[in-house]
Chains A and B, each alone.
Chain A
Amino acid sequence: MAYSDKVRALYQDQLKAIQDAGIFKMERYIHSPQAADIDVEFPAGSSLKKVINMCANNYLGLSSHPDVVKAAHEGLDSRGYGMSSVRFICGTQDIHRELEDRLTKFLGTEATILFPSCMDANAGVFEAVLTKDDVMISDRLVHASLIDGIRLCSAMHDTFKHSDMAHLESKLQLHADKRLKLVITDGVFSMDGDTAKLDEMVALCEKYEALLLVDDSHSSGFIGKTGRGTHEKCGVMGKIDLITTTFGKALGGASGGCVSGRKELVEMCRQRARPYLFSNTIAPVVVAGVLKVLDILSLTTERRDKLEKNAAYWRKGLTEAGFVLREGDTPIVPVMLFNAKLSQDFSRALYDEGVYAIGFFFPVVPQGQARIRTQISAAHEIHHLDKALEAFTKVGGKFNILGKTKQEIIDMYGM
């Protein structure tokens, strides 16, 4: 038997090391649809507890919207469950084409191609459009999926300091001799909630003849006046060469993603992107749901407007309570605790108070920058936010961090 006792022990030791380091991930089981109020089994085997969800990417509250669920049912009935084929053999339905066209219109681009996930979009896009004669220059805080895609590409890779435009410009100059330069950034950064300076980045890319890719997964549907994304917010609609995004967050929250942008680049993905070529695309039931989400967002901005108000209310409440926050104006509001163990203890205490929010620490965030990342939803009502604020304030008082500066918290708990 190849899986010998020696091999088993090797993995057991690795898992124990993860546990000993305090970074072993435990799943919490949700027994209800995704929503502001959820029924959770945690730890495994314990009785269900109703808690307020403050950590879902359900920004627009559409994950369990009755119209989306109904459309998904109809999609299931009319187009079936699975395709049993990749796109280019016999795995493309009319509704896949319809969704690509609708996304192109929604994002204000030239063309769109669907992927099984945005992780797959990011894994496939770079190798599809670049060669070893090119360079990729990415923000140092881009999402892990972009980093994985970059690793799979033969082009040279360099980085610039987070949102530092002078540093980006120096890198564009350093790599001036390359055939193509592709600048890569998140639209909204998932752990900090800040927005990329896309207007400045577009200007630099025009100056140095570079392409620009933006992962708008934490933006599509709600950032910008009509929710098109960070390119709308920054006034650069039509000027982003490649946008990657997900349907697994605001746009219904199920799964799937896409690359949208210049039509030749999108066509290159259709010809060469390996996750597109060698994996089934989004199931018809999900396509039908996302189409309904786009219908809803095209009719009204009511949900993103409510989300904006909710996020401002939440940020103001936490600030007045005396927490140290990461600055920003998006629904991602990180409560800074700096110490990894404190972030875990704080999360557990919040759960005991009926609030579900997760603590993040190194290596997910830089060393010494542990935090509770809160995420606001249009599904939250003011009473949810008030109850959560009450819980945060109670737990913050218990750990004696209210009104304390970053340094004072570090002095008490360490980095």
Chain B
Amino acid sequence: MEDLKDAVLKYVSEEYLEEGSDPITYDTPLISGGIVDSFSMVSLKRFLENRYKISIPDGDATPEAFDSVNKIVVLVKRFVS
């Protein structure tokens, strides 16, 4: 799933990082680190659903589950058949 990891990393970097920000890693805290706010989780969830043809129930789309690229990969893997 390296493609998935890199795709999520690229999306988050382009979507949320301000110009001149330090690059993020697979383990950088996204929500608890203030990079992605709770509003913006929506577009990340929709990006994953559209790209990987999955449906993530709202109950599973928690701030904890979206808190790093690695955690997002774990979440997506659960729903990719």
Contacts and interface: CB of A to CB of B under 8 A. Distances in A.
Contacts of A366: 18
Interface in A164-190: 171, 174-175
Interface stretch (A56-64, A155-163, A346-354): A155-163
Contact of A157 (B18, B42, B47, B50): B42
A174 B40 contact: no
Contacts of B39: 150, 157-159
Contacts of B81: none
B13 to A, nearest CB: 13
Contact of A158 (B18, B40, B50): B40
B69 to A, nearest CB: 20
Contacts of A157: 39, 42
Interface in A228-266: none
A100 to B, nearest CB: 32
B81 to A, nearest CB: 21
- Interface size range on A against B: under 10
A159 B46 contact: no
A327 to B, nearest CB: 16
A156 B40 CA distance: 10
Interface string B6-26: 000000000000100000000
Contact of A171 (B18, B43, B50): B43
A175 B40 contact: no
Q: Tell me which of B39, B46, B50 has the highest count of chain A C-beta atoms within 10 A of its own C-beta.
A: B39
A17 B24 CA distance: 30
Interface string A142-159: 000000001000001111
Contacts of B43: 158-159, 171, 174
A366 B17 CA distance: 13
B20 to A, nearest CB: 10
Nearest to B44: A158
Contacts of A174: 43, 46-47, 50
Contacts of A171: 43
Nearest to A156: B42
A366 B37 CA distance: 14
Interface of B: 18, 39-40, 42-43, 46-47, 50
18 contacts: A150-B39, A156-B42, A157-B39, A157-B42, A158-B39, A158-B40, A158-B42, A158-B46, A159-B39, A159-B40, A159-B43, A171-B43, A174-B43, A174-B46, A174-B47, A174-B50, A175-B46, A366-B18
Given A158-B39, A175-B46, A366-B18, 14 more contacts: A150-B39, A157-B39, A157-B42, A158-B40, A158-B42, A158-B43, A159-B39, A159-B40, A159-B43, A171-B43, A174-B43, A174-B46, A174-B47, A174-B50
